[in-house]
Amino acid sequence: MADDDFATNLVRFVASQMHVLIGLQMAQDMFGKSYHSLGAMEKVAVDQAALGMVAANYNSITPEYLRTQPQTQQPMGFQSPAAAPKAES
């Protein structure tokens, strides 16, 4: 991240701050209690909703050259190993 320019780092900083603040507010709105007092599944629900909002805002304020960067998305949870194909005899 040190190799990026100031504008890129600034947009990333704003997006990370939005994620934290939206998560805190959404926990209060969705469950009526603080984010830190939520259970595990409630935190996952809040995080997923906040991440969707931040991603949409990030893409709308980010310059075009940042949108072309590859998005590395990893599936969540445990993945079952792929079955090895059987050799035909």
pLDDT digits (tens, 9 = 90+) for 11-57: 788 878 888 888 888 888 888 888 888 888 888 888 888 888 878 87
Predicted confidence at residue 8, as pLDDT, reads: 78
Predicted confidence at residue 78, as pLDDT, reads: 61
Residue 59: pLDDT over 70: yes
pTM, whole model, 2 decimals? Answer: 0.53
Extract long-range pairs of 54-61: CB within 8 Å, 24+ residues apart.
Answer: 54/15, 54/18, 54/19, 54/22, 57/15, 57/18, 58/11, 58/15, 58/18, 61/11, 61/14
Predicted confidence at residue 5, as pLDDT, reads: 80
